[in-house]
Amino acid sequence: MLLEALRLKDFRNLRDVELSPHQRFNLFTGQNGQGKTNLLEAIYLLSAVKSFRSQATNRNLIGHGRDQAELFARVDRGGHVRDVGIEIGERGKRITLNGQTVRNVADFFGTLNVVIFGPDDIGVLKGSPSERRRFIDRAIFNARPAYGTEATHFEEVLKNRNALLKEERVDGGLLSIYDDQLVEWGAQILRRRLDFIDHFRPVLKRTFRSIFGDGFEAEIGYQAEWADQDLSTENVEEALRDALSRTRQEERHRGYTLVGPHRDDLRTELDGHDLRAFGSQGQTRAFILAMKIAEITYLEERYRFAPILLLDDVSSELDRERNRQLFAFLRDRAIGQVFITTTHRDHILLEEDLRHYQVVDGEVRDG
Ligand SMILES: Nc1ncnc2c1ncn2[C@@H]1O[C@H](COP(=O)(O)OP(=O)(O)OP(=O)(O)O)[C@@H](O)[C@H]1O
Ligand SMILES: [Mg+2]
């Protein structure tokens, strides 16, 4: 997968950017607040439509004093070239593929696949469960765009069901309809996640060992506190039904849904110890680095495509040895386009197959 051309207009502080990226490494150097992360955010949007930043309303994405932002990319996927466009107005986004408006975003997903690794990811393992759910959901979505629609169905059911549970008199008939929908879509999400963990787990263990030697054993697992049995792709529906009937009273009392994939977490362990509770800073960073590398390797091995990798200023968050491992991995992986931002050129251990840009006050120049 290759980003052959990128054009941006009035996207945040990037007023007018036009690039023909290198097919391997693209390095963006600049001081703080110049527009480096904004550039990666634009590429990410061209893949996922939504931003990775939490405060990214349409208004915030549009350059100050402008009324529209325009993003454009030419993407080559195994010789198949497509033009991707997003126009962002305050009222919404318009997506185009080869100049034609896309009515259903589901048709658009999968055109461009990116994996991003940035300073926020370093906190994923110590942060709230929702951040770890986001990691796993994003990884599945990258491999199977239809997962996005499934997740939307589930969120819709959850919203309706929660609203009903908050009502003074809960309509039993309606609740049982929502229960069925919750089981149907919840089970689908759970099957996808369990299947992902099944395939991802050995890749992660192998990656961790190859980077950090045989000394440490990494482990990852899916955690669903509401289930009173070990979940498998075969028993998720039954487990959801059981849990729903067990928590009926409490759900009415609390007024929201206590059972389902929206409550779940990832358990990560190093040498048998829970990383969330016992991991040092360095161990946590090493683990998340291995998770990111495993995510890419998983996509390459299982789905046979190399996603575009966006590395936002990660070198400053990794110690010297971890940083060396990261670049060794990137160089050894003979294929794959990478966009890297940094404030310090000397953090970036790459000399070949490289195009270098400077980012200064929203302008991107060859450097
Ligand atoms: N909608 C917008 N219009 C204009 N400027 C914006 C908009 N949104 C953000 N900015 C500006 O973009 C700049 C931040 O850009 P960005 O986050 O890409 O910086 P960076 O180069 O990654 O910096 P750092 O090295 O600190 O991470 C800030 O100056 C911010 O004010
Ligand atoms: Mg930044």
Its pTM stands at 0.91
Domain boundary among 304, 324, 358: 304
Beta strands in the chain (DSSP E): 2-11, 14-19, 25-29, 68-77, 80-89, 92-97, 100-101, 114-117, 218-223, 265-270, 273-274, 308-312, 338-342, 354-360, 363-366
Confidence class for position 122, pLDDT limits 50, 70, 90: confident
Does residue 99 share a domain with residue 32?
yes
Q: Are residues 37 and 143 in the same domain?
A: no
Ligand 1, residue 39: give the atom nearest the CA.
Answer: 18
CATH number assigned to the domain comprising residue 130: 1.20.1050.90
Does 299 share its domain with 165? yes
The finding on whether 207 has its CB within 6 A of some atom of ligand 1 is no
Question: What is the side-by-side strand order in the sheet with 273-274?
Answer: 218-223, 265-270, 273-274
Total number of domains in the chain: 2
CATH number at residue 346: 3.40.50.300
Which ligand is closest to the CA of 12, given by its number?
A: 1
- 118 is a domain residue: no
pLDDT digits (tens, 9 = 90+) for 71-111: 999 999 989 999 999 999 999 999 999 999 999 888 888 89
Listed residues 285, 304, 323: the one ending a domain: 304
Distance, CA 338 to ligand 2 centroid (Å)? 16
Question: Per-residue pLDDT for 240 more than 80?
Answer: yes
268 in contact with ligand 1, CB cutoff 6 A: no
How many degrees, rounded to 5, is the angle at CA 106 between CA 18 and CA 201? 90
Model confidence pLDDT, tens digit, residues 297-347? 888 888 888 899 999 998 888 888 889 988 998 998 878 999 999 999 999
DSSP codes joined into one string, 181-218 = HHHHHHHHHHHHHHHHHHHHHHHHHHHHHHHH-TT--E
Please name the residue that has the structure tokens 């961790």: 208
Domain presence at residue 357: yes
> For position 304, what pLDDT does the model report?
82
- Please answer whether residues 296 and 304 qualify as being in contact, where contact means their C-beta atoms are separated by less than 8 angstroms: no
Nearest-CA residue for ligand 1 atom 11 is 13
Q: Is residue 60 part of a domain?
A: yes
State whether the Cα torsion 276-280-283-289 is positive or negative: positive
Q: In Å, how far are 178, 209, 362, 364 from 6, measured between CA atoms?
A: 44, 37, 15, 12
Whether residues 177 and 262 share a domain: the answer is yes
Residue 145 Cα to ligand 1 midpoint, Å, equals 30
Beta pairing partners, 87? 70, 94
118 lines ligand 1 (CB under 6 A): no
Considering the chain, what is the average pLDDT of its residues?
A: 94
- Ligand 1 center from residue 36 Cα (angstroms): 8
- In a domain, residue 201? The reply is yes
87 shares its domain with 154: no
Whether residues 107 and 139 share a domain: the answer is: no
User: How close is the Cα of 35 to the center of ligand 1, in Å?
Assistant: 5
Residue numbers of the domain that contains 58: 1-113+306-367
pLDDT at 98: 96
State which of 8, 11, 36 you would mutate to test the pocket of ligand 1, scoring each by most atoms of that ligand within 8 A of its C-beta.
36
Structure tokens at 221: 């697992």
Domain final residue pick, 304, 321, 353 = 304
pLDDT band at 211 (very low <50, low <70, confident <90, very high): confident
In a shared domain, residues 132 and 248: yes
**Same structural domain for residues 270 and 179?**
yes
- What average pLDDT does the segment 137-156 reach? 93
237 plus 156 within the same structural domain: yes
| 80 inside domain | yes
End-to-end CA distance of the chain: 25
Same domain, 219 and 146: yes
Is 310 in the same domain as 292? no
Nearest CA to ligand 1 atom 5: 13
- Would the pLDDT of 121 be above 90? no
> What is the tens place of the pLDDT at every residue in 8-32?
999 999 999 999 999 999 999 999 9
Nearest CA to ligand 1 atom 28: 33
Model confidence over 266-308: pLDDT tens digits?
A: 999 999 999 999 988 888 888 998 999 999 988 888 888 889 9
